[in-house]
Structure 1
Amino acid sequence: MLAAAKAVVDTGVGLDLDGVLAVLRCSDEELPEYLAIAHEVRMTWCGPEVEVEGIVSLKTGGCPEDCHFCSQSGLFTSPVRAVWLDIPSLVEAAKQTAATGATEFCIVAAVRGPDQRLMTQLADGVAAIREAVDINIAASLGMLTQDQVDQLSALGIHRYNHNLETARSHFPQVVTTHTWQERWDTLRMVRAAGMEVCCGGILGLGETVEQRAEFAIQLQELDPHEVPLNFLNPRPGTPLSDQPVLDPKDALRAVAAFRLALPRTLLRYAGGREITLGDLGTRDGLLGGVNAVIVGNYLTTLGRSPEQDLALLDELSMPVKALSATL
């Protein structure tokens, strides 16, 4: 399968299901070569720049959904409780994000979908951020109606995040309060409205290697602008609290496989990389296909400091994508 992987460099066409599965099953001895090919694919089809993003939670906790990995669900005994962020704090978070060199600021809410209060708060927050700092504003507010999609588009939200989380076949073991199809339908409406689609998931949710490959191909069909790769960081009080952390080599196999399935896509390091990969693995992934990172903390867990990530990018001679390049 190495020949098929190398062909992606020349054609820019992602691997099929069998090809992705072969990468996910590769031996430890083969892994460095697959990572090297994935890096060559990234450099050929995406270039050397790395897009940097910060995220902030506008509404934390108290979510009515039962996503088994999430400490923000109001159905579990995790210690996260419902909190709303005020507009000045939202603006300050955007300023701090921009100060790192990030071009992307994503406003997230722990909800099934936005109600009118949340839409109003978001509109006020977007207006205040635009007066204070020059940065792209993305949003992640759960499942949307067509009217809400139109409102977000009118606000100038240029990218919308809504993760499918895992393969369609595995989704019912992870979430029971809504369906994979409902998430897919939201993503289709977002794309049709002209916003960029950001859609990825979490690896290590108990899925099989075959389901991991299935997920990569389903993302390939969706063809999102960005795919955030999260690795499960088991949270106390959630149904997956005892799930083992993904083996770091399996995580790197997934980085290579998802890059080779999605040669032209922003592949972003997201939550859980610190506990799964550590410093050395983070470096290996950046040299194995990753070309975007979330800097700073995540929604309910701590990340690496922005300074650490920016220093690593500088060491690897990977320039941070400028704001003008993202418009």
Structure 2
Amino acid sequence: MSDIRNNWTHEEVKAIYDLPLLDLVNKAANLHRKHHDSTKMNMNTLISARTGACSQDCKYCAQSARYDTHVKPKKLSLEDVLAEAKIAKENGVKRVCLSSSGRDGNRDDRFDEMAEMITEVKKLGLEVCCTMGMINKEKAKKLAGLGITAVNHNLDTSERYYPSITTTRTYAERLETLANLQEAGISYCSGGILGMGETNEDRIEMLRTLSNQEKHPYNVPLNSLVPVEGTPFFGKETIGIFDMVRAVATARILMPKAVIAFAAGRTHYSQEGQALCFLAGANSIFFGDKLLTVKNMTVNEDQHLLNTLGIVPTRYQELTTLEE
């Protein structure tokens, strides 16, 4: 029987999610080792080409113009982006993700700006992915033509809880963008944020929604909320590491071939806690001292942790080396 399914029921996913934690981790670890090389970790970096001044009201985001946060609007020039990409390459990064704040990636000026950056960063010999808001069918086809490696578009949470996160866009719009990317043949990244006040049922439903896409995400980023002062979610209590482990392990079981990224919020947890997430199937982390608007682990901290665990930084194509 194939490990790959796209027809999970809520009850089936809940049964997995609710397993005794060590049994859950063991099941996920075995599947991880079946489809991936557990001694390898993808390291990538995020470059914020356009930061802040976003019209959306996502309650977790410091880039919203509706909230008074430390983030000031900033736009990088092409030269600035290339300089950061070169530094990332010198530090062993193989993939750069270009981020542009805002809802609508379909605006011709914004799209053309991103297209030029994608083209020029690729010339450095780096893989490039991007996140730029909603993408229609036309723009998805253009991104495919540019040779984009992947496009990020997170679901954030469940459909039920989504209106508690933002009121300026709908869950249906998020799903439409994922459908447009899949139709264009683009690999896509999609995951969510834990610790925004959602229930376990919401986490289960988010993971079920992702695993029931026609094609599983190439990468599933799982973030632990970093509450930023000035946003409505400032002051929320950080979720425990075992909740992160449970989500990572469930994602690994539901989407065995996907890359699972332990993304924002790693600074909340000890090295031992991060290692448990890696054991449960996380095989991608972000390199650099900053992840968009929040602090990330330092380069030296990550190098020390990976060296201690005997994990080698690598590139995406090398991650899925075992049974196909």
Task: Say yes or no: TM over 0.5.
Answer: yes
1:165 alignment counterpart: 156
2:36 alignment counterpart: 46
State which drifts further: 109-118 or 263-272.
109-118
1:284 alignment counterpart: 276
- Once the two structures are TM-superposed, the CA of residue 11 in structure 1 deviates from its matched residue by 4.6
- Once the two structures are TM-superposed, the CA of residue 326 in structure 1 deviates from its matched residue by 7.6
- Once the two structures are TM-superposed, the CA of residue 32 in structure 1 deviates from its matched residue by 2.8
Contact 1:50–1:292 (CA<8 Å) still a contact in 2? yes
- Measured in 2, the distance between the counterparts of 1:322 and 1:219 equals 23
Contact 1:65–1:73 (CA<8 Å) still a contact in 2? yes
- Once the two structures are TM-superposed, the CA of residue 82 in structure 1 deviates from its matched residue by 1.3
1:298 alignment counterpart: 291
Contact 1:12–1:45 (CA<8 Å) still a contact in 2? no
Q: How does 1:52-91 map to 2 (within 5 A)?
A: 52-91=43-82
Cα offsets for 1:226-261 (capped at 9, x unmatched): 100001111111111122111222222222222122
Q: How does 1:115-264 map to 2 (within 5 A)?
A: 115-131=107-123, 133-222=124-213, 223-264=216-257
- Measured in 2, the distance between the counterparts of 1:324 and 1:255 equals 21
- Measured in 1, the distance between the counterparts of 2:198 and 2:53 equals 26
- Measured in 1, the distance between the counterparts of 2:11 and 2:266 equals 26
Contact 1:39–1:288 (CA<8 Å) still a contact in 2? yes
Higher helix share: 1
Cα offsets for 1:189-226 (capped at 9, x unmatched): 11111111110010111111111111111010121111
SS in 1 for 2:179: helix
Contact 1:108–1:141 (CA<8 Å) still a contact in 2? yes
Contact 1:54–1:105 (CA<8 Å) still a contact in 2? yes
1:20 alignment counterpart: 13
- Once the two structures are TM-superposed, the CA of residue 127 in structure 1 deviates from its matched residue by 3.1
1:34 alignment counterpart: 24
- Once the two structures are TM-superposed, the CA of residue 324 in structure 1 deviates from its matched residue by 5.8
- Once the two structures are TM-superposed, the CA of residue 134 in structure 1 deviates from its matched residue by 1.0
- Measured in 2, the distance between the counterparts of 1:205 and 1:111 equals 21
State which drifts further: 152-161 or 16-25.
16-25
Contact 1:24–1:250 (CA<8 Å) still a contact in 2? no
- Measured in 2, the distance between the counterparts of 1:32 and 1:249 equals 10
- Once the two structures are TM-superposed, the CA of residue 109 in structure 1 deviates from its matched residue by 0.8
Cα offsets for 1:58-99 (capped at 9, x unmatched): 100010111110010111122212110111110111112222
- Once the two structures are TM-superposed, the CA of residue 167 in structure 1 deviates from its matched residue by 0.7
- Measured in 2, the distance between the counterparts of 1:118 and 1:170 equals 30
- Once the two structures are TM-superposed, the CA of residue 318 in structure 1 deviates from its matched residue by 2.6
TM-score, length of structure 2 as denominator length: 0.90
2:95 alignment counterpart: 104
- Measured in 1, the distance between the counterparts of 2:197 and 2:109 equals 36
**1:321 aligned to which of 287, 304, 314:** 314
- The runs of 5 or more residues in structure 1 that have no matched partner are 1-9
Letter in 2 for 1:184: L
Cα offsets for 1:293-315 (capped at 9, x unmatched): 11112000111122322332233
Contact 2:17–2:24 (CA<8 Å) still a contact in 1? no
CA-atom RMSD, angstroms? 2.0
Cα offsets for 1:138-163 (capped at 9, x unmatched): 01000012222122222221200000
- Measured in 2, the distance between the counterparts of 1:57 and 1:197 equals 18
TM-score, length of structure 1 as denominator length: 0.89
- The runs of 5 or more residues in structure 2 that have no matched partner are none
